[in-house]
Chains A and B, each alone.
Chain A
């Protein structure tokens, strides 16, 4: 599983002195650094982007790094945003919403958050999944109190949007967090 420490990428691509992810040009450089790491990893693995040591994330960098990575790679690879703060979330939410994107994130206490454009129905299933770790279509149907066919659509949407993983048999969805 590729683990990407954004602060380290920042130091390696822009400057060892900076602790903040701000400005478009910085975001572009960091995204290129992340893409170099991803290019060396199996495309199906969850890419964990760690924000724990990032102090400030502005909208420009949130867009340039997270939104563009999800737009360009989010259909082929799941991403987990780890170590996010309330402030990071304030920058990430509007950026993801603007592009109609969604992401699974984990705060510094380990709590799971779902950012961006996610229906209440999907949010509920993602919460259930985060608690249980995995679920089958029938579990989704029970949780939503809908027929299996309708649950299957939600199940498929989770996988298509890369908000969860499928097990090898394709019968279960697995939480990213």
Chain B
């Protein structure tokens, strides 16, 4: 039996819960991820889609199908991000994958990239820095924002290496966020299909929190108290560092894990700081948005 998982038409972090709802709790049925009508896919959507495919593959479920967006521009954009190169190992692709020559002038700061170990983090950080300097300058951000951006990227990727228990995906891009902000933004999106924050922190934190222990409590502990599954007191600083970085540059940080999403919400956004009781989704998903400064 094949079950259809509809990929939202505007597949970004706001529509991700709809995607998670459709993904549900797959068992042995084959899934068909239907993106034929998708008109936009953010880096967050793309890495989340790969995480779903990865979760199925690691559990030896039937290889899912993925229909490619009919919209030529959307399919080309997905190709430019390098999405299809990774998707073909996880999904049976249906539709014509566009051929896109590599271009250094793309708004794709970092193509969709797998993160499995420390070497991948080095590679990602190395590749991002020169391109990020130029792009962030265009966004009106000071030079200091570039290194902070790379540092936040490093910490977000390390969250996979240190805590997920499996690999994950990262992508970095700039785009004009017309619908919400009317400004250009630089976005880091990271997703994995691992154990998630709750399972990672449970051995050290669940007893302390007691009955309140949940996905939401785990996210709060990680980002506000800087706790980690390790007993080393120096651990757990990465997420708090990312929080400081977005605070400094008026950015937004969102972490979704299990059934909860915690966001550090800037003045330009009206998201809720904590959304609980969401449709469950494997692993954890992190998004960091840095907007162009107001005079740009």
Contacts and interface: CB of A to CB of B under 8 A. Distances in A.
Interface of A: 15, 18-20, 22-26, 55-60, 63-64, 67-68, 85-87, 90-91, 94-95, 98-99
A26 B121 CA distance: 10
B111 interface: no
Query: B-side binding surface: helix, strand, loop or mixed?
Result: helix
Give the size range of B's interface with the partner.
20 to 34
16 contacts: A20-B125, A20-B126, A22-B125, A23-B121, A55-B129, A56-B154, A57-B151, A58-B154, A59-B238, A87-B147, A90-B151, A91-B241, A94-B237, A94-B241, A95-B237, A98-B233
Contact of B148 (A24, A55, A87, A94): A87
A91 B151 contact: yes
A-B residue pairs, 10 tightest by C-beta: A87-B147, A63-B234, A23-B118, A58-B154, A22-B154, A25-B118, A59-B241, A59-B237, A58-B151, A23-B121
Interface stretch (B155-163, B177-185, B252-260): B155-163
Contacts of B147: 56, 85, 87, 90
Nearest to A55: B129
A19 B150 CA distance: 13
A153 B121 CA distance: 46
Contact of A95 (B118, B129, B234): B234
Interface in B218-234: 226, 233-234
B122 A60 contact: no
A58 B237 CA distance: 10
Nearest to A95: B237
A26 B158 contact: no
Nearest to B122: A18
Tell me which of B122, B148, B155, B162 has the highest count of chain A C-beta atoms within 10 A of its own C-beta: B122
Contacts of A20: 122, 125-126, 129, 150, 154
Tell me which of B129, B147, B155 has the highest count of chain A C-beta atoms within 10 A of its own C-beta: B147
Contacts of B126: 18-20
Contacts, number: 83
A118 to B, nearest CB: 19
A23 B161 contact: yes
A155 B132 CA distance: 46
A59 B121 CA distance: 14
Contacts of A64: 234
Contacts of A55: 129
Nearest to A90: B148
B94 interface: no
A56 to B, nearest CB: 5
Contact of A59 (B150, B151, B233): B151
A92 B213 CA distance: 32
Contacts of A25: 118
A43 to B, nearest CB: 24
A144 to B, nearest CB: 32
Interface string B126-148: 10010000000000000010011
Given A87-B148, A87-B151, A56 B234 contact: no
B244 interface: yes
A95 B237 CA distance: 8
A114 to B, nearest CB: 20
B234 A67 contact: yes
Nearest to B245: A90
A119 B237 CA distance: 23
Contact of B234 (A68, A86, A87, A91): A68
A56 B158 contact: no
A108 to B, nearest CB: 14
Contacts of B235: 63
A88 to B, nearest CB: 9
Tell me which of B144, B154, B155, B240 has the highest count of chain A C-beta atoms within 10 A of its own C-beta: B154
A98 B122 contact: no
Interface string B9-30: 0000000000000000000000
